[in-house]
Structure 1
Amino acid sequence: MLLRFRVANVRSLRDEQELSFTVPAGHDPGPARTVELAGGKNVEVYPLLGIFGANASGKSNVLAALAHMRNAVINSYARWTTYGGLRRQPFALDDKSAQDTSFYEVDFVAEDGIRWTYGYELSASRVEAEWLHAYPRGRRQVWLDRDASRDEEYEFPGGRIQDRARLARTTRANALFLSHAGTDNHPQLTPIFHWFDRNLWWIDPEDDRHEREAFTIQRLQEEESRQRIEELLRVADLGITGAEIDQQPGQPPSVRLTHVSGTLLEWDQESLGTRSWFALLGPLLLALDEGAVLLVDELDSSLHPRFAAEVVRLFHDPLVNTRGAQLVFTSHDPSLLRTPSDGRLMDPGQVWLTEKDETGATELYPLTAAEPGELEDLTNSYLAGVFGAVPDITEGQIARRLLAARFTEMEAGRA
């Protein structure tokens, strides 16, 4: 399970920001799960976090940074070329940030209960630092300490990593040591590499929908998944009673959904909301089955708020989410903060907010920092701007600006 993510100098995230799944000290754990750590300690971990904020406030950049970290671990050794530099996007609105390193770090708990910390720093041309720490008995063990500014770039305190000299010698300056080890199926580090491979899957509603539709169709052809997918389509009250796979020779399989009248509609006749929901089901069920961390940008995009709320409930329900899967989503819709009966759909510790300062840098902070009252209506307070992270705009301001611009144009025309 993911415990924490820290990042700096990536897109609009100029200063170091932290996203944490752990329950703040002194707070009711609510829907959090108790995770047993190796060494006998426990930690309370949320199954879900929601990131809210105004347009262009940096919500999506948090998910993009997590996805970039995954990509670097999986691909930097095998796919990043020696001459191509590093694929990074530092903060672009000041000159200093282009010279500074970009920083990434995660804390997570592996299936055996051991907590790991892994991170790195990138400059424009090389990996400047990389580290890996384990906590098998609750105390830190340093497995890897890489610093490109030292004469001896690599240090392996305790000599715990097998074949370390060869790996260090053959890891390019612009590739991660962990990426090299995982690509080579290193016996000790491959499980850490695989954690990244099976987690931090990013779903962007603007991209890859056709691929996600195809993946859901693939899952629909599996007997154990078909019933669940069809049930989720029916429960969503789309007027759908089933699904039919159409396989033509030499063509990829396609799907037609059966509606209450018994009519089979062609896929391009289905609504955007239906197609968006269908495309989400394959990755969502895979995450629940695998106990993975899923990243969904704009969860409410093309979905009714009640659909989005049901996704939240799926991850909260321990009878459905039996493997400890986690979800991080972004949204503009504050109605996701409460239930139809005016209860809280998410605890304040699960709600994170983004806001840009006057320099264009994003600040990411938990709702708990605003200390909301126990009975406070989070939706109303959010819309009223009590917690920040809402557009700085007054009622009618856009219309007034438009009229002013039109008046200016008319005056210029008369001149």
Structure 2
Amino acid sequence: MLLRFRVANVRSLREEQELSFVVPDEGDSPAARQLPLSDGKQLPVYPVLGIFGANASGKSNIITALKHMRKAVLSSYSAWTSHEGIPRDEFALDPKAAAEGTFYEVDFVREDGIRWTYGFELGDRRVESEWLFAYPKGRRQVWFDRDASREKVFDFPGDRVQDRARLARTTRHNSLLLTRAANDGHPQLTPVYDWFKQNLWDVTPETERPQREAYTAQRLLESEESRRRVEELLRVADLGISGAEVERDPDGRSVVRLRHSGGGAEAVPLDWEVESFGTRSWFALIGPLLLALDTGAVLLIDELDASLHSRFAAEAVRLFQAPWVNTKGAQLVFTAHDPSLLRIPGGGRLLEPGQLWLTEKDERGATELFPVSDWEPTEEEDLMTSYLAGSFGGVPKISEGQIGRRLLQTDTSAEMETEEV
């Protein structure tokens, strides 16, 4: 499971920002899972985090940064070349940022309960630093530490890592040692690499929808159990759908028709083209949701509510929150605009204060990320009402009618300039 993610100098994330799944102060939380660690202790960890904020406040950049880190780990050895430099996407509003490193770090726990910390700092032409720590008995073990400014760039304290000399000799200055090691199937470091390979899967509901529709259709054909789960998720969203039909066309593509029923009449299969955009978006999301739940992966969904009704979005959150459904410790990070996701219809909270993160931009245009738990809301406080009132920040600083007045002022100014000419 992912515990923490830290990042700096990526897009609008100028200074170091941290996103944490760990329950604040290890307090009691009905939403948290008790994660067993290798030292015998347990750590309360959230299965879901939601990131809210005004437009252009940097919500999506948190997801993007996680994707950038994953891509760097998976492809630095094969894709980064000396003549093109290292892709960084640094903060653009400060000229000094180009000369500073881009920083990434994650804390995570693998299936054996061992906690790991892995991170690196990138310059334009070389990896400035890279580190890997393990905590098998609760105390930090340094597996390797890399610093490009030292005469001896690579250090392997404790001689824990096999093939140290070869790794140090063959890792290019512009590639990550972890990628280099996994490229040769290093027995100790490849499992850390594999954590990135099997996690941080991203979904943007408004893009790549045909591919995800095809994947959900494939799940319908896999087995009777897989079909049952997909159809149940279609029914639970209250779409009037009683089932689904799927077959292969002559080109091998899946053709889906959903069966609709109403008024006691026999269910009627409808052509895919007549289904609503919301229905198709939910269908396309079901496949990735089930894949994450089946494998215990971390799923990233940018703008969960962009093409989904708030009820659909809330159901996606509940899938990860419910321990009887999410049996393998899968996690969800999503961004959204819709404040109704902060409240369930019958009253109460869909997300706890520690699960609700907000983004704001400062006067420099840099994003600040913080949890609502920092504001210490009371247990009875309605988070949606407080959020909309600006009690926690993270909402647009705009008064009612302000946009209309701005347009009127612009039109008036343009008319005056025309008359003067």
Tell me the TM-score normalised to structure 2 length: 0.96
Partner of 1:228: 229
Cα pair distance change 1:92/1:283, threshold 3 Å: same
Which of 366-375 and 7-16 deviates more?
366-375
Partner of 1:379: 384
Partner of 1:175: 175
Unaligned runs of 5+ in 2: none
Alignment pair present for 1:290 and 2:295 = yes
**Partners of 2:417 and 2:253 in 1: how far apart?**
58
**Partners of 1:26 and 1:109 in 2: how far apart?**
17
**Partners of 1:26 and 1:215 in 2: how far apart?**
38
**Partners of 2:256 and 2:31 in 1: how far apart?**
36
**Partners of 1:94 and 1:243 in 2: how far apart?**
53
Deviations 1:173-205 (A, max 9, x none): 221111111222111111111110111111112
Partner of 2:152: 152
Match of 1:392 among 347, 372, 397: 397
Partner of 2:187: 187
**Amino acid paired to 1:406:** D
Partner of 1:117: 117
**Amino acid paired to 2:108:** F
- Check whether the contact 2:86–2:174 (CA below 8 A) recurs between aligned residues: yes
**Partners of 2:346 and 2:231 in 1: how far apart?**
28
The Cα of 1:101 is off from its aligned counterpart by 0.2
Deviations 1:228-258 (A, max 9, x none): 0111111111122222223122342232222
The Cα of 1:297 is off from its aligned counterpart by 0.6
Tell me the TM-score normalised to structure 1 length: 0.97
The Cα of 1:26 is off from its aligned counterpart by 5.7
- Check whether the contact 2:206–2:306 (CA below 8 A) recurs between aligned residues: no
Which of 391-400 and 263-272 deviates more?
263-272
- 3-state SS in 2 of match to 1:88: coil
Partner of 1:128: 128
- 3-state SS in 1 of match to 2:62: helix
Partner of 1:207: 207
Match of 2:371 among 346, 362, 366: 366
- Check whether the contact 1:82–1:172 (CA below 8 A) recurs between aligned residues: no
- Check whether the contact 1:352–1:365 (CA below 8 A) recurs between aligned residues: yes
**Partners of 2:354 and 2:239 in 1: how far apart?**
33
Which of 27-36 and 347-356 deviates more?
27-36
**Partners of 1:132 and 1:102 in 2: how far apart?**
17
Partner of 2:41: 41
**Partners of 2:129 and 2:172 in 1: how far apart?**
13
**Partners of 1:349 and 1:81 in 2: how far apart?**
41
- 3-state SS in 2 of match to 1:393: coil
Alignment of 1:197-346 (within 5 A): 197-223=197-223, 224-260=225-261, 262-346=267-351
**Partners of 1:396 and 1:121 in 2: how far apart?**
45
**Partners of 2:191 and 2:26 in 1: how far apart?**
34
**Partners of 2:375 and 2:403 in 1: how far apart?**
29
Deviations 1:346-398 (A, max 9, x none): 11011100000011000000101111122111100100001000001000001
The Cα of 1:80 is off from its aligned counterpart by 2.5
**Amino acid paired to 2:4:** R
Which of 27-36 and 106-115 deviates more?
27-36
Alignment pair present for 1:63 and 2:68 = no
**Partners of 2:401 and 2:350 in 1: how far apart?**
31
**Partners of 2:5 and 2:286 in 1: how far apart?**
26
- Check whether the contact 2:82–2:125 (CA below 8 A) recurs between aligned residues: no
- Check whether the contact 1:78–1:183 (CA below 8 A) recurs between aligned residues: no
- Check whether the contact 2:3–2:109 (CA below 8 A) recurs between aligned residues: yes
Aligned length: 415
Deviations 1:245-301 (A, max 9, x none): 231223422322222263333323221101110111111000000011101111111
Cα pair distance change 1:229/1:120, threshold 3 Å: same
The Cα of 1:136 is off from its aligned counterpart by 0.5
The Cα of 1:23 is off from its aligned counterpart by 0.6
Unaligned runs of 5+ in 1: none
- Check whether the contact 2:205–2:306 (CA below 8 A) recurs between aligned residues: yes
The Cα of 1:413 is off from its aligned counterpart by 2.4
Alignment of 1:345-356 (within 5 A): 345-356=350-361
Partner of 2:13: 13
Aligned CA-pair RMSD: 1.2
The Cα of 1:221 is off from its aligned counterpart by 1.2
**Amino acid paired to 1:30:** P
**Partners of 1:242 and 1:160 in 2: how far apart?**
54
**Partners of 1:385 and 1:411 in 2: how far apart?**
37
Partner of 1:22: 22
- 3-state SS in 2 of match to 1:265: strand
- Check whether the contact 1:147–1:154 (CA below 8 A) recurs between aligned residues: yes
- Check whether the contact 2:26–2:44 (CA below 8 A) recurs between aligned residues: no
Q: Sequence identity, in percent? A: 65
Deviations 1:208-237 (A, max 9, x none): 222211211221211131110111111111
**Amino acid paired to 1:42:** Q
**Amino acid paired to 1:275:** R
Which of 28-37 and 81-90 deviates more?
81-90
Deviations 1:318-370 (A, max 9, x none): 10000010001111111111111211111101110000001100000010111
- 3-state SS in 1 of match to 2:251: coil
**Partners of 2:206 and 2:12 in 1: how far apart?**
20
- Check whether the contact 2:26–2:43 (CA below 8 A) recurs between aligned residues: no
Which of 243-252 and 191-200 deviates more?
243-252
